[in-house]
């Protein structure tokens, strides 16, 4: 299938230039819980260029009821690895990697890690990590999407 056929809907929505920008995006997802995984799915399907998941959680029973991208067969495996594998199955044009580390530790020890990405999506990140990340992203002109959910409620903040 030709790329233009595969992405026909997206091309009609945001045009060739928009698709090119999406396909050149290097996205960093901090925490691959249900919200982060759904956001990632919604950019993997239309063809985001590449992504990396930074998450230190191990798949547990509590993940099974609320994250569509983990199964009982994934119990006791790193959630970052499991979600990466599922995402890569959804679109062969996308590349993805994972880092099994706590996002707050990465931010505290080497905030320049995010400089290799041109979009950062942070979910369920707490202070002071969130403030440090927001400041760094603003100083380096890296768009930051922050999401936090509480059951059926949540918020989203976009910093560009």
| Domain positions in the chain | 17-159
At 22, give phi and psi (nearest 5°). Answer: -60, -45
Q: Are strands 95-99 and 119-123 parallel, antiparallel or unpaired?
A: unpaired
Question: How many Cα atoms occupy the beta-carbon half-sphere of 87 within 13 Å?
Answer: 31
Q: Are strands 144-150 and 153-159 parallel, antiparallel or unpaired?
A: antiparallel
Note the pLDDT tens digit of each residue in 109-130: 999 999 999 999 999 998 899 9
Residues of the chain with pLDDT > 70, as a percent, come to 98
CA distance 58 to 79: 5
Both tokens of 75, joined, read 């119990």
Closest to 44 in 3D by CA, of 16, 70, 14, 6: 6
Question: How many Cα atoms occupy the beta-carbon half-sphere of 5 within 13 Å?
Answer: 2
CA distance 160 to 144: 7
Note the pLDDT tens digit of each residue in 23-76: 889 999 999 999 999 999 999 999 999 999 999 999 999 888 888 888 889 899
Residue 18 binned pLDDT confidence (cut-offs 50, 70, 90) = confident
CATH topology of domain 17-159: Rossmann fold (3.40.50)
């Amino acid at each position: 299938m030709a790329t233009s056929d595969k992405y026909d809907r997206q091309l009609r929505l945001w045009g060739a230039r928009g698709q090119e920008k999406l396909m050149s995006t290097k996205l960093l997802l901090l925490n691959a819980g249900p919200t982060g995984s759904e956001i990632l799915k919604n950019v993997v399907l239309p063809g985001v260029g590449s992504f990396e998941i930074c998450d230190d959680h191990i798949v547990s029973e509590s993940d099974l009821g609320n994250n569509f991208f983990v199964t009982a067969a994934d119990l006791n495996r790193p959630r970052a690895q499991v979600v990466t594998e599922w995402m890569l199955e959804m679109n062969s044009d996308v590349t993805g990697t994972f880092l099994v580390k706590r996002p707050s530790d990465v931010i505290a020890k080497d905030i320049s890690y995010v400089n290799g990405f041109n979009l950062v999506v942070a979910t369920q990140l707490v202070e002071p990590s969130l403030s440090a990340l927001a400041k760094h992203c603003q100083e380096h002109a890296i768009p930051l999407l922050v999401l936090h959910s509480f059951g059926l409620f949540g918020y989203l903040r976009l910093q560009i």
